[in-house]
């Protein structure tokens, strides 16, 4: 497995793989089975799989969330090695933001609601980093999780809007036995809050009204940022003891 820290080294590596199909999985590390499911899809359909690990500061609107974001690069590299990932791109801030974030990719419509409303600037950070990574890695396929539904749609639409030569593949959300969507931030939950977090998806899925779901979440102690039904998909963000959880479920038409 190649561990690549800078763009120059990636370019040299790219010259050796550019005739093969390249699948790309961007992550912020603290890897779990959700990330691994994306890697497995990439491995299945591409000759080469590249994973990036970069905690992108420009997408964090909350400084505390950034400083407490789980990080375990040694464990991540061991996991990726086990799954026979070909290349891991692990850049530093300076390598990626040579312009110090003076140039930004912004979407002006869908990015302003739901997550965008509660996390100002978040999607500008996300779209900017993904655009940069696509330009560096030059993959045929990118694999994103449906867990971050709004993010996946915004990236899909950015790829279309800018004629980027990469196909996006949106993969199902991986959950634990209770239905809780796997997330790096789950590692920050206390035992007691984890028990409550396991109710989040169950409440989203039950056949109650949005109003009742919100009440049920609040009764459990969640602060509900939003819970909305958009095009037969219920999307929600909640907080418990300052830890933010998001989830969404689609319903058949
Ligand atoms: P992150 O490291 O949280 O930025 O996530 C990297 C990628 O993994 C994104 O495309 C996420 O949507 C995806 N992902 C995160 N959690 C899950 C999950 N539970 N199931 C499937 N994909 C996920």
pLDDT tens for the chain, 253 residues: list them: 999 999 999 999 999 999 999 999 999 999 999 999 999 999 999 999 999 999 999 999 999 999 999 999 999 999 999 999 999 999 999 999 999 999 999 999 999 999 999 999 999 999 999 999 999 999 999 999 999 999 999 999 999 999 999 999 999 999 999 999 999 999 999 999 999 999 999 999 999 999 999 999 999 999 999 999 999 999 999 999 999 999 999 986 5
Ligand 1 neighbour 28 (Cβ under 6 A): yes
Catalytic entry in 8, 32, 35, 122: 35
Q: Give the atom of ligand 1 at the shortest distance from the alpha carbon of 173.
A: 20
- Substitution site in 145, 177, 197, 198 for ligand 1 pocket (most atoms within 8 Å of beta carbon): 145
CB of 172 closer than 8 Å to CB of 249: no
Q: Give the atom of ligand 1 at the shortest distance from the alpha carbon of 144.
A: 10
H/E stretch holding 87: strand 87-89
Cα distances (Å, whole numbers) of residue 169 to 42, 45, 215: 9, 11, 35
Q: What does DSSP assign to residue 146?
A: G
Which is it for strands 223-230 and 233-240: parallel, antiparallel or unpaired?
A: antiparallel
Please name the residue whose Cα sits nearest to atom 22 of ligand 1.
145
Rounded Cα distance, 1 and 12, in Å: 15
Task: Determine whether 35 is an active site residue.
Answer: yes
Rounded Cα distance, 170 and 50, in Å: 17
Q: How much distance in Å is there from the Cα of 41 to the middle of ligand 1? A: 13
């Amino acid at each position: 497995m190649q561990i690549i820290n800078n763009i120059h080294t990636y370019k040299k590596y790219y010259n050796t793989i550019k005739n093969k199909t390249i699948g790309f999985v961007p992550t912020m590390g603290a890897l779990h089975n959700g990330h691994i499911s994306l890697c497995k899809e990439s491995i299945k359909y591409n000759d080469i799989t590249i994973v990036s690990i970069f905690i992108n500061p420009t997408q964090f609107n909350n400084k505390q969330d950034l400083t407490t974001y789980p990080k375990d690069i040694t464990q991540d590299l061991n996991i990726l090695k086990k799954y026979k990932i070909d290349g891991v791109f692990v850049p530093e801030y300076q390598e990626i933001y040579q312009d110090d974030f003076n140039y930004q990719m912004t979407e002006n419509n869908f990015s302003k609601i739901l997550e965008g409303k509660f996390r100002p600037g978040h999607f500008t950070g996300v779209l900017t980093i993904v655009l940069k990574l696509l330009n560096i890695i030059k993959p045929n396929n990118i694999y994103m999780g449906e867990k971050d539904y709004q993010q996946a749609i915004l990236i899909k639409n950015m790829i279309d809007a800018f004629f980027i030569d990469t196909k996006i593949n949106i993969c199902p959300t991986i959950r634990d036995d209770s239905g809780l969507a796997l997330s790096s931030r789950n590692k920050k939950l206390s035992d007691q809050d984890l028990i409550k977090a396991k109710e989040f998806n169950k409440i989203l899925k039950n056949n109650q009204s949005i109003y009742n779901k919100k009440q049920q979440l609040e009764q459990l102690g969640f602060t509900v940022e939003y819970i909305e039904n958009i095009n037969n998909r219920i999307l929600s963000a909640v907080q418990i003891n300052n830890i933010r959880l998001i989830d969404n479920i689609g319903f058949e038409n």
